[in-house]
Structure 1
């Protein structure tokens, strides 16, 4: 609040003409940060003021910049295109079209820990957050994953409010056994545990995919906030390979079209979507 810098503003005329007339299109916002005397974390707020209060929305994003305040385009995640509800039932069709990131095959010490895809999602009016991890198919042995969550979104995954979700996935002949444990990141104190769940593929199904969910209360999550995350296996594989994924489960972010940003060492590029409105619209960044 003490260092707010308005970098640009778009104004539409009374007929709705102008740069805000961007029905169904995505427009990149290029921000020159050279004049901002800072480095590290910068919070940028996208704000749109419209005649209809129901159309007012905000999006807060945190980006990482280097010492020269340069911004580079990050590796992109695949945004969600599905409205299907995620159900923990060891059936994975509901994950089709959900936000995800892929990972290279063959970059782990062992195939049993070689992550090839990482998915995340939430459901309306649901107090849980959901994830799915996929490894190379044809596995019959135990997999262990650690999901690291930076809940205060400050780039440090070791704070007392941060979380580690440990997942132990053992495929069986006709079902699976999945144990999930939530810990504090700073001292590894156990917060919650969910054992003996059938949330993964069986050996007969390939032993590749496992899904799990954690109540938001276990994570200390509050609506309207964002957090960062990455997942790793016990066999030296990580998704993403570097950096982390920033995400907010808030449903309002769906209208932006890209609710997750992969943050690397250099920074980020934002995309926003504006519908065509009647009357005067005054979006500003």
Structure 2
């Protein structure tokens, strides 16, 4: 297992607002995924993540490489105690369903614990993604710390996966595993990328959806 630091690319544009305008994500941390390792509608390009100063909410934005304006289903897995096991009751899976529309988008966000138990619905029919006219590539969402059962500065592991539209238990693409200590004040959180071999990480991820 290799650990490497993931730095902020440039100074962030400003606080994150869930309004489907993605410009404020410029300068926030992200992990990048190469093209061509999944069907185009499920092929992840970047996963952005950050917090706003003095606010206890985790914010995310996922961008895919291409889109034919089909539905995108995302599972964001959080190993909240940083022990490498995502299947414990204290862990979380954030499920996001994104459907671009001609005008706006439809985004649903639900949170489950590591054993699959339902915790909360965060959003239903929210307009947090790009419309078809805007390309249908990017979607953003946020989840409060208390729903995730975490506190500021808590170190955790996470990764995102897209699943097949007709086969929700089948993983199409994944990001690298990221170690993150989200903050709720000004300053740079601890961010790192944990690089696992592709075969090992995919095997672990498939078990989590089964």
TM over 0.5: yes
* Change in CA separation of 1:162 and 1:263 when aligned onto 2, cut-off 3 Å: same
2: distance between equivalents of 1:132 and 1:220? Answer: 21
Higher relative contact order (CA 8 A, sep 6+): 1
1:147 counterpart = 2:76:
yes
Who is 2:158 aligned against? 229
1:196 counterpart = 2:125:
yes
| Equivalent position SS for 1:120 | strand
Unpaired runs of 5+ residues, structure 2, are 165-171, 198-210
2:55 and 2:185 in contact (8 A); partners too: no
Who is 1:281 aligned against? none
Unpaired runs of 5+ residues, structure 1, are 1-63, 65-71, 267-285
User: With structure 1 as the length reference, what TM-score do the two structures score?
Assistant: 0.62
* Change in CA separation of 1:122 and 1:254 when aligned onto 2, cut-off 3 Å: same
1:139 and 1:208 in contact (8 A); partners too: no
* Change in CA separation of 1:83 and 1:259 when aligned onto 2, cut-off 3 Å: farther
Which of structures 1 and 2 has the bigger CA Rg?
Answer: 1
Who is 1:15 aligned against? none
Who is 2:56 aligned against? 127
Q: 1:254 offset after TM fit, Å? A: 3.1
1:165 and 1:182 in contact (8 A); partners too: yes
How much is the aligned-residue C-alpha RMSD, in angstroms?
Answer: 1.9
- Equivalent pairs, count: 188
* Change in CA separation of 1:265 and 1:238 when aligned onto 2, cut-off 3 Å: closer
1:238 counterpart = 2:174:
yes
2: distance between equivalents of 1:165 and 1:251? Answer: 20
1: distance between equivalents of 2:99 and 2:106? Answer: 5
1: distance between equivalents of 2:42 and 2:36? Answer: 10
Q: 2:180 aligns with which of 247, 253, 259?
A: 247
2:67 and 2:136 in contact (8 A); partners too: yes
